[in-house]
């Protein structure tokens, strides 16, 4: 089961997004601003982060920048949701940008697409780094005491 962090300062939207994603079987953590979101991301290491762009205390831009600077969180995909168009030159900070109002189907498809990419890269990386177990592995023999 994938873990998703929702960062949204609008309580109604946070509630709806959470319900929609939990119904799809995702484990969801929620934060009301970027500062809280960064703290939760550091503790739970989510598989995906969906964040608003305009928030109090720490906005989405600063949150994305800090996430990309963290070695543990830099590879986590980020979907930004905003009522405003994305700022130019910041595209490397996120993997998807959704314009509000976001319909439920678009949110679900975007989340699924980002998670498929992340989970497949993670499993491939683990498979390549771990040697395959084999019953034909060499045995080291010591013939002397």
DSSP string, 41-104: HHHH--SEEEEESS-SSS-HHHHHHHHHH-TTTTTS-EEEEESSPPPTT-GGG-SEEEESSPPH
Q: Which one has a higher pLDDT value, 143 or 50? A: 50
- The CATH number of domain 3-129, selected from 3.40.50.2300, 3.40.50.1970, 3.90.960.10, 3.40.640.10: 3.40.50.2300
CA 51 to CA 87: how far, in whole Å? 15
pLDDT at 124: 39
Cα→Cα distances 118→46, 115, 122, 134, Å: 11, 5, 6, 28
For 96-138, write each residue's pLDDT tens digit: 999 999 999 999 999 999 999 766 554 434 444 444 444 444 5
Please state which of the ranges 10-24, 80-94, 106-120 shows the lowest mean pLDDT: 80-94
Mean pLDDT value across residues 13-42:
96
3-state secondary structure of 21: helix
Do the beta carbons of residue 52 and residue 10 sit within 8 Å?
Answer: yes
Strands (E), 22-110: 27-31, 48-52, 78-82, 96-99
| 27 φ/ψ angles, rounded to the nearest 5 degrees | -85, 130
């Amino acid at each position: 089961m994938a873990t998703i962090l929702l960062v949204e300062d609008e309580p109604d939207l946070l509630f709806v997004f959470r319900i929609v994603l939990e119904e799809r079987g995702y484990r969801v953590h929620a934060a009301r601003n970027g500062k809280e979101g960064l703290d939760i991301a550091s503790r739970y290491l989510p598989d995906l982060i969906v964040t608003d762009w305009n928030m109090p205390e720490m906005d989405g831009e600063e949150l994305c920048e800090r996430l990309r600077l963290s070695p543990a969180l830099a590879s986590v995909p980020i979907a930004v949701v905003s009522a405003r168009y994305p700022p130019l030159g910041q595209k490397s900070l996120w993997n998807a940008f959704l314009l509000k109002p976001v319909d439920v189907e678009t949110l679900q498809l975007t989340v699924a697409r980002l998670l498929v990419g992340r989970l497949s890269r993670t499993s491939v990386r683990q498979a390549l780094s771990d040697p395959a177990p084999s019953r034909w592995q060499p045995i080291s023999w010591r013939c002397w005491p």
